[in-house]
Structure 1
């Protein structure tokens, strides 16, 4: 989230967030979905590719930034009600933005678009985790949040692996027949789920429970970084220890509750949270402690306007496609087939097109950065 004034921000967090937004834009905009290098694809089911790390890293950083945004105000209980209302407003705004983006891309009558609107989604999950995590941060101690995180991860494991699905299926981790898929069909109906499936959703409602664990993981790390009674060397050392320990535990848990991004399994939470902690510890030491900041601005421009970059990167292709080509081909496809594909191998052409979209997303963020405009929600 973008709640912090520039002078209060943790530069390493902005760099890491910026890198995550850039990576997200890269993997979401290949020239040809049939020609993508393996690290830029999601795992088919179990397992974790570099692309699978992008979303949980972002959720983790929402947790970290919650601490830096709210720590001072939450010290006075008189502020709590206003802070919670502000978090609720931000949650609603993010959800509405996601639905607006969907409607922007629908080329059907408005009523038909609404009846087939996908209710879950990436921004929706970020919004829910942000709001619930904020309330827990404002009202609870760190020990209580640790217990909530443990309860969420263990409880999700029990629900998914041991409780029979009410439709008659045994507990299972298959895409269409697990407990989460059943719950999404019950609450949202198939008209409002992921369009590629319609029977389950990778950002479904039940998966928000372990995703909250990812956000609380970030809050714990942010609280550690904010401690004034620890030297930077001690902070960094223990962050590495914490991160490595989480990865080791996740790999053990993976033996019977597989690391799986679509299900957001508990092992996935610990695996990605551990790697995110290690990455932030390294970035924090390099940038904020050692002061290597000369080229940090290249990614900071994304990190300081993460939501703006997210939205612009999501709608950029739709904006390009408003330009007529005089044929049945969309402008984005025409530009790729005539301006990129003839000059590279299929895999490289697809990658080059994705890099171009990252650059076109980055340019407006540079302008905002130079004008000191930081878009909040």
Structure 2
């Protein structure tokens, strides 16, 4: 248990909560079809949903600005122990989430042989760990240099060791060699992991960008110049992204450099808008809703995923409870698109109620 973020970073707390709310919505549609912005791009391209995960990494980096400041008064052993422990625990939570509920229907232990190794939380844990080490030992200049080398180097690896197709990319080749097909994601029709080992490298840059943005806020304050700088940097990243797209397609599942530039650009602009509206203009209407989610982000994310797994396992009259609730309460009166959206929003609100109850009791779970 720990204290929530400082009020000075209310815009960041709101941003974190907004990201989590949208992540729950896009992850839990009631039916098989959703409105286009709530679907990932099939391969190359970009949608609102594709912005969610990189935004999550961005706010991890922003939160790291506060924790790294606290680490300055501690020695190397304390720092290394904390960041390795935190990174490992986040990775382990992600792995256990894919292994859950741990037992087969006949109550035998679920085999490790088919458990996915990489994933969303695993990538967050790895990116946090490496970003913290980079910032600690090389500072912002080192982080900027790493970002350039990582994005260009990853581009070279993709081009030299494969192509940009689903079946011929270097990310797939490395994961097959190291992890093996049974330990990879199969939702693309083949064994391919959108959170693979190699594509974690450019994702570290999203965390470093969030850290740099928060450091700007911390040192310069949430004033007009800071907001203008964030917005200008965001616009520059977007220009880079869409120019680079002609050579290296924007692709979330490969996490290409152009995708990193695109998502960092949008995140900087969103942060600039939130900072201007909340920390400068004093807007507070509606902010508490997202602030609540932003204070227990990891716990609520895990809760949302575990609850879906449980609902999908429980059977009611030969149908899963997840499907039954969707059909009875939403699809029975709304169109498939609207029913799917309304179910997702309702599920997110149920998760929010848990976060609200925790906030009212001053419970803030951090690793």
- 2:333 & 2:103 partners in 1: Cα distance? 32
| CA drift at 1:126 | 0.6
Task: Report if the CA contact (8 A) 1:321-1:331 is conserved.
Answer: yes
Partner of 1:210: 202
Q: Does 1:336 align with 2:335?
A: no
- 2:152 & 2:3 partners in 1: Cα distance? 33
Q: Which moved more, 1:185-194 or 1:8-17?
A: 8-17
- 1:66 & 1:3 partners in 2: Cα distance? 15
Selected match of 2:75 from 72, 79, 91: 79
- The runs of 5 or more residues in structure 1 that have no matched partner are 165-170
- 2:184 & 2:175 partners in 1: Cα distance? 8
Q: Does 1:308 align with 2:308?
A: no
Q: Root-mean-square deviation (CA), in Å? A: 1.8
Selected match of 1:256 from 237, 247, 252: 247
Partner of 1:276: 267
Partner of 1:127: 125
Partner of 1:69: 67
Partner of 1:168: none
- Taking a change above 3 Å as real, the CA distance of residues 3 and 224 of structure 1, as seen in their structure-2 partners, is farther
| CA drift at 1:283 | 0.4
Partner of 2:97: 101
- 2:8 & 2:165 partners in 1: Cα distance? 42
Task: Report if the CA contact (8 A) 1:302-1:365 is conserved.
Answer: yes
- 2:134 & 2:108 partners in 1: Cα distance? 38
Partner of 2:13: 14
Partner of 1:180: 171
- Taking a change above 3 Å as real, the CA distance of residues 101 and 238 of structure 1, as seen in their structure-2 partners, is same
- The runs of 5 or more residues in structure 2 that have no matched partner are none
Q: SS at the partner of 2:289?
A: helix
Selected match of 1:149 from 143, 147, 151: 147
- Taking a change above 3 Å as real, the CA distance of residues 182 and 324 of structure 1, as seen in their structure-2 partners, is closer
| CA drift at 1:324 | 4.8
Task: Report if the CA contact (8 A) 1:3-1:69 is conserved.
Answer: no
- 1:195 & 1:289 partners in 2: Cα distance? 46
- Taking a change above 3 Å as real, the CA distance of residues 87 and 311 of structure 1, as seen in their structure-2 partners, is same
- Taking a change above 3 Å as real, the CA distance of residues 4 and 373 of structure 1, as seen in their structure-2 partners, is closer
| CA drift at 1:341 | 0.9
How big is each residue's C-alpha offset from its partner over 1:60-79, in whole Å with a ceiling of 9 and x where there is no partner? Answer: 111111112222432x4x43
Pairs aligned (count): 364
How big is each residue's C-alpha offset from its partner over 1:252-306, in whole Å with a ceiling of 9 and x where there is no partner? Answer: 1111000000000000001100110010011011111221123211011111110
Partner of 1:265: 256
TM-score (norm 2): 0.94
Partner of 2:88: 92
Q: Which moved more, 1:332-341 or 1:185-194?
A: 332-341
- 1:62 & 1:274 partners in 2: Cα distance? 16
Selected match of 1:356 from 324, 333, 346: 346
- 1:219 & 1:279 partners in 2: Cα distance? 15
How big is each residue's C-alpha offset from its partner over 1:226-254, in whole Å with a ceiling of 9 and x where there is no partner? Answer: 114x6711111111111100110111111
- Taking a change above 3 Å as real, the CA distance of residues 9 and 107 of structure 1, as seen in their structure-2 partners, is farther
TM-score (norm 1): 0.92
How big is each residue's C-alpha offset from its partner over 1:340-371, in whole Å with a ceiling of 9 and x where there is no partner? Answer: 21111111111111111111111100000111
- 1:203 & 1:237 partners in 2: Cα distance? 33
Task: Report if the CA contact (8 A) 1:9-1:68 is conserved.
Answer: no
Q: SS at the partner of 1:239?
A: helix
| CA drift at 1:80 | 3.2
| CA drift at 1:218 | 1.3
- 1:227 & 1:213 partners in 2: Cα distance? 21
Q: Which moved more, 1:97-106 or 1:182-191?
A: 97-106
- 2:93 & 2:226 partners in 1: Cα distance? 37
- 1:319 & 1:4 partners in 2: Cα distance? 31
